[in-house]
Amino acid sequence: MILGIETSCDETAAAVITDDGHVLASVVSSQADLHSRYGGVVPEIASRRHLDLVAPVVREALDSAGASLDGVSKVAVTQGPGLVGALLVGVSAAKAIAWARQLPLVPVDHLEGHVASLYLEPDPLEPPFVCLLVSGGHTLLLAVRERGSSERLGTTLDDAAGEAFDKGARLLGLRYPGGAEIDRIAQDGDPSAFPFPVARVPGLDFSFSGLKTALLYAVRDLGVEETERRRADLAASYQAAIVRALARRIDEAASATGLDGVAVVGGVAANSNLRAALPDVRFAPLDLCTDNAAMIASAARYVEALPYPGYLGLDAYPSFS
């Protein structure tokens, strides 16, 4: 069995999976409520919370898997990218657990973790495929030709798609995290009510800052009362523009690479409008879209483990390596 630990942002998570990719337990303790009044993740608050939760979450994962550390053959942990103070809580705890039991440790890249959410049973996806990773921090198009590695095709030039959702939600007076709120409210709105633009940038990159500005102007022009009254239309139109931008790039990436399979992972992959707009695309399981440790343990199956004592000095990396 593989024990996975993830603390890169605002979810403290631990999971136990079998060596062949069956999830025995996946525990995620979300801090979203803690951060909502700030409208985003506060790194120091997140790190303090991770310290409180890391051991209880690991214990709960082992308990609900009906397992103990005796049955664990390696420990996997998110090494980066993420908030460095948050990452260090998970990395330090994982190193300590591995060292105490003289187990190998597998440092996992968070982004490869998201991709590896597609490799878990009962319905694992086989490369090659084009993968769109969309979350609060990332908007990446990847070519995945084999498990455990990927080639970057495009990324966002400014805001991540999830960040665009969050910022849009704030302009509409909705709660953080904004993606789920916009998704919910947009159900009652007309996606063609407002002609929000989709930025045209070269290659396979993305840009969402212009869209956010367009919403800002729309809200300003409408005024407080009218914005309130047409909030569903604004949310639906704004969401539709983001979905359009993502869908178009997925198509272009598929043609550019000649890869048939397409998959979408990350927090924004839970968006119901995006799922509906892309019926032929493979989406990560709903419970594995937002950050979790099952995907980290899954990725560890395709990364070389560091045997004891090679990992004792292992450090976290905050941004892209």
Partner 1 sequence: MLVLAFDTATDVATSALLRDGGVLGERISVPRTLLEDLDALLRDVDAEPADVDALVVGTGPGSFTSTRIGLAVTRGLGLALDIPAAGVSTLDALAAARADVFPVIDARRREVFVLGPRAVEPDALELAPGAFCVGSGAVRYRPTLERMGAHVPPDDDELHVPHARFHASLARAFGPADAIQPIYVRAPDAKVSRSPA
- CA angle 67-72-74, nearest 5°? 150
Nearer to partner 1, 127 or 266 (CB): 266
Nearer to partner 1, 191 or 266 (CB): 266
Residue of 90, 238, 291, 292 interacting with Zn ion (CB under 5 A): 291
> In the numeric block, which tokens belong to residue 50?
């991770």
Position 11 contacts Zn ion (CB under 5 A): no
**Single-letter amino acid, residue 82:** G
Which residue bears the tokens 């909030």? 231
Position 292 contacts Zn ion (CB under 5 A): no
Write out the DSSP string of 162-179: HHHHHHHHHHTTPPSSHH
Q: Is 27 helix (H, G, I), strand (E, B) or coil?
A: strand
Position 89 contacts partner 1 (CB under 8 A): yes
> In the numeric block, which tokens belong to residue 143?
């070519």
Residue of 1, 11, 117, 211 interacting with partner 1 (CB under 8 A): 11
Positions in 54-93 near Zn ion (CB under 5 A): none
Contact 114, 298 (CB under 8 A): no
Phi and psi at residue 5, in whole multiples of 5°?
Answer: -135, 135
The residue among 157, 159, 154 whose CA lies nearest residue 140 is 154
Positions in 253-312 near partner 1 (CB under 8 A): 266-267, 290-291, 309, 312
Contact 33, 47 (CB under 8 A): no
Positions in 28-57 near partner 1 (CB under 8 A): 35, 38-45, 47-48, 51, 54-56
- Which listed option, Zn ion, partner 1, none, makes contact with residue 166 (CB within 5 to 8 Å by class)? partner 1
Provide the binding-site residues for partner 1, judged by CB under 8 A: 8-11, 35, 38-45, 47-48, 51, 54-56, 58-59, 69, 81-85, 88-90, 92-97, 99-102, 110, 135-138, 160, 162-163, 166, 177, 266-267, 290-291, 309, 312-313, 315
Provide the binding-site residues for Zn ion, judged by CB under 5 A: 135, 291
